[in-house]
Amino acid sequence: MAKKEEKSSMVGEFAEFLKDKNIDKNTMTSVLVESFQKVLSTIYGTEKNFQIVLNPDKGDVEITQELEIVADGEVENPTTQISLSEARADNDPDAEIGETHARNIVFADFGRRAILNLRQTLQSRILELQNEAIYRKFNDLKGEIISGEVYQTWGKETLLIDNDRDKNELILPRTESIPSDRFRKGETVRAVVLNVENKNGKPKIYVSRTSGEFLRRLFEIEVPEIHDGLITIHSVARIPGERAKIAVESYDDRIDPVGACVGVKGSRIHGIVRELRNENIDVISYTSDPKLFIQRALSPAHIKSISINEAERKAEVYLRPEEVSMAIGKGGSNIKLASMLTGYEIDVFRDTEGYVVEEDVDLDAFNDDIEEWIIEALKGLGYQTAKAVLRAPREFIVEKADLEEETVDEVLEILRQEFEND
């Protein structure tokens, strides 16, 4: 009776252990049977002639060893054979030579070492299953946003702990962090699943905050029309932490795709900008006309003409001389993003035909009247001169330079007075 209780207790304990690991009943039964078979193979040299019937819910296991009955004194392999007299003495009085005898095996009789071996085998198999499940789960989540808690930051990477109950480790390489990212221990961080490696059966999950997919997924979260399929994101281009462009299209003529993505007074896009450490985001209305698409992508510059080579995916863009700096952007960011967004290699040329040189003034000349940080904000949009600012749409400056409307109006008035006084 004591052995039966010990046997039931042992199986019940293992079953509870498997439940704690969130393993379903069928897999649980399979794992337990495999583990018993492996230990029996270690003890007997084979598991082929053993039958294992297991009920994890009740904590029961029945193990039988199927043996060939041979004449007394002719047993050559006690693992697969049993003598006639021994079989009859083992609750099989009608046994005959040539038949199969089922001997009941009490696993607990093998002692503590066998039970320890079973436990280690079980734990090893469970670890394999868990790792396989983790790999499949995150491999299916590639390109999706997940969140994790900052556990530790090193020079080359940050370790996050997945917010799900499994508490998996997520690796955020420094190269996949926004340059201005500065994390504190315990802080919740969002990123997209970039890649999952499975070396030596141990999955490593890498996440990214610089991927274009991260920006795409953030828009899907913030803009219901994108989530519902009414607006489609055609392409995304990013210089992480600095500037980004995203091309969107609406399938409903009643929906303005750019307005829907920006939201009333920027309500939708502001949350994305904050998440991306104040990354400047241009939302552009997509068109299948490549010339018009390139023109929109190079905003705020105004293009005079475009020549396109479809075969080589190249575009030559001609602008007035004062528009060139805006088309190129600070550090070449605007033209780089436009090329990434449209898929065309874009070259910019000054169109001086019929061009009359007009007087203009560098923004730096207004240091006495306009605060330096405001001038730098305007330069960040690609405006180097007073007339370039005056030609730009007021609403564009308010939104992209992140300046108060009153401040923009004051700046515009100062610049206008410069030329009116002439």
Handedness of CA 357, 358, 363, 366 (dihedral sign): positive
Sheet containing strand 303-309, edge to edge, reads: 303-309, 314-319, 345-350
Contact 302, 320 (CB under 8 A): yes
Q: Where does residue 134 rank: exposed (0-12), middle (13-18), buried (19+ CB within 10 A)?
A: buried
Q: With cut-offs at 50, 70 and 90, classify the pLDDT of residue 5.
A: very low
CATH of 2-135, one of 1.10.287, 3.30.1300, 3.30.1480, 1.20.1740: 3.30.1480
Give the homologous superfamily in CATH for domain 141-208.
Answer: Nucleic acid-binding proteins (2.40.50.140)
pLDDT tens column, 200-226:
878 999 999 999 999 999 999 999 999
Q: Under CATH, which architecture does the 363-420 domain have?
A: Orthogonal Bundle (1.10)
pLDDT tens column, 269-294:
999 999 999 999 999 999 999 999 99
Per-domain boundaries in the chain: 2-135, 141-208, 363-420
Q: With cut-offs at 50, 70 and 90, classify the pLDDT of residue 9.
A: low
pLDDT value at residue 252 = 87
pLDDT tens column, 68-85:
999 998 999 988 899 999
Strand partners, 171: 159, 206
